[in-house]
Amino acid sequence: MPDAATRLPTKIDLGPVVGRRLRSADLGDLAAMHADPAVMATLGGPRDRATSERYLTDNLAHWERHGFGMYALRERDGGRFVGRAGVRRLRLGDRDEIELAYALCAEDWGRGLAVAACRTLLGLAQRAQLADSLIAITLPSNHRSRRVMEKAGLVFEREVEHVGLPHVLYRRRLAVPAAYRS
């Protein structure tokens, strides 16, 4: 069971959109987004429902083990699913990192939701002292995602290999609260 101090809230407020900890009932919406070739073009390609179900199962278990994870993002008015975002542990090469991750439905691109989610999650991670820094990775050609990372205050650090493909890694160092400085 994770330490209560390192848990993130199960709900987040992004203005017109709210995030809620992923749950089993989100499978249909996740599967639909994961089947969209436009959304998944830079995320390994479209996924079938069984792969989305494994993704969801893994993310539900991550919440249980670590006290943080992915959120389903929905419009405040009406509850329409617009995507997912969150923080999760990621083994990258020989390092354990905390990754800031997000994916939005194609019709919701350009609304500023990914930047808002990233900024909110960075603030929550800092207050909970999850790590000294958070990373985000994407394919080098994913200029939209790279711009989201930059707007959220992450800085390009280096090129890496992930799932057998070249990626770019951006990092945001998190400030240590004054009460914890020596």
> Residue 173 carries which side chain, given as an amino acid letter?
R
> Residue 12 carries which side chain, given as an amino acid letter?
I
Q: What distance in Å separates the CA atoms of residue 91 and residue 1, rounded to the nearest whole number?
A: 20
Provide the CA 155 distance to its chain's centre, in angstroms.
16
Helices (H), the chain: 27-34, 37-40, 49-66, 113-128, 143-151
Contact 133, 103 (CB under 8 A): no
Mean pLDDT within 20-44: 94
Tens of pLDDT, residue by residue over 115-132, are 999 999 999 999 998 999
- Full-prediction pTM beyond 0.85? yes
Average pLDDT, the chain: 91
Looking at residue 6, what is its pLDDT? 63
Backbone angles phi and psi of 2, in degrees to 5: -70, 155
Which range among 24-33, 35-44, 72-81 shows the weakest confidence by mean pLDDT? Answer: 35-44
Contact 34, 47 (CB under 8 A): yes
Query: 163 falls in which pLDDT band (50, 70, 90)?
Result: confident
Res 175 pLDDT > 60: yes
Mean pLDDT within 91-111: 93
Closest by alpha carbon to 136, among 78, 125, 25? 125
Backbone angles phi and psi of 82, in degrees to 5: -120, -10
176, HSE (Cβ side, Cα atoms, 13 Å)? 5
Tens of pLDDT, residue by residue over 45-68, are 899 999 999 999 999 999 999 999
Alpha-carbon separation of residue 20 from 10, 12, 67 (angstroms): 6, 6, 13
Bridge partners (DSSP) listed for residue 13: 18
Domains of the chain, start order: 4-180 (3.40.630.30)
Interhelix angle 27-34/49-66, rounded to 10 degrees, is 120
* Structural tokens at position 5: 């101090």
